[in-house]
């Protein structure tokens, strides 16, 4: 394994651990990696895990942030409608967007039930770790 493949492998493992995934398979330039967490429930993404007291408070404005670095996509493909729009009601498991990193697409869940008040990035924008993506007003 050369240095470039080792660096790619380290990035893949980092994305797997930080991205809230429980299983992932990636093949890049002759390097094939399959990762799976045995029996462990998937980690919730930092963006999808607001503090418990914020969840219980009706009307709180929650900021959903990027759990990884990559390209933000508002819809599953350029021809499809966006996952959410301003004013849409979402549940904790609703997909808000996709973030592509190293040719791996990660669905970003809302993490809270509420109404989308703001969308802070545009489709195709490069996003940084912990960058604000959405503002959601919580509802019970």
Please name every residue paired with 24 in a beta bridge, in sequence order, or none if there are none.
Answer: 35
CATH number for the segment(s) 45-140: 2.40.50.100
Question: What is the per-residue pLDDT across 19-35, written as a single tens digit (0 to 9) for each?
Answer: 666 677 676 666 666 77
Question: What is the per-residue pLDDT across 47-63, written as a single tens digit (0 to 9) for each?
Answer: 444 444 444 445 788 89
How far apart are alpha carbons 87 and 116 in whole angstroms? 5
How far apart are alpha carbons 57 and 112 in whole angstroms? 11
Angle at 82 between CA 77 and CA 86, to 5 degrees: 165
Q: Where in the chain is the domain with CATH 2.40.50.100?
A: 45-140
* Residue 125: other Cβ atoms inside 10 A: 13
C-alpha torsion sign, points 76, 109, 87, 125? negative
pLDDT band, very low/low/confident/very high, at 93 (cuts 50, 70, 90): very high
The answer to whether 119 and 86 are in contact (CB under 8 A) is yes
User: Residue 11: its pLDDT value, please?
Assistant: 73
Question: What is the per-residue pLDDT across 34-48, written as a single tens digit (0 to 9) for each?
Answer: 777 755 444 444 444
User: Residue 81: its pLDDT value, please?
Assistant: 93
**If we measure between CA atoms, which residue out of 15, 41, 14, 32 comes closest to residue 105?**
15
């Amino acid at each position: 394994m050369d240095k470039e493949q080792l660096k790619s492998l380290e990035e893949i493992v980092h994305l797997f651990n930080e991205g809230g995934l429980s299983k992932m398979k990636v093949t890049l330039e002759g390097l094939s990696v399959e990762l799976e967490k045995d029996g462990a429930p998937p980690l919730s993404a930092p963006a999808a895990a607001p503090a418990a007291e914020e969840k219980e408070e009706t009307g709180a404005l929650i900021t959903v942030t990027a759990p990884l670095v990559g390209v933000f996509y508002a819809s599953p493909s350029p021809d499809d409608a966006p996952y959410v729009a301003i004013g849409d009601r979402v549940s904790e498991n609703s997909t808000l967007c996709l973030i592509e990193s190293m040719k791996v697409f990660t669905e970003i869940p809302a993490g809270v039930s509420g109404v989308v008040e703001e969308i802070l990035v545009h489709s195709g924008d490069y996003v940084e770790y912990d960058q604000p993506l959405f503002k959601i007003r919580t509802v019970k």
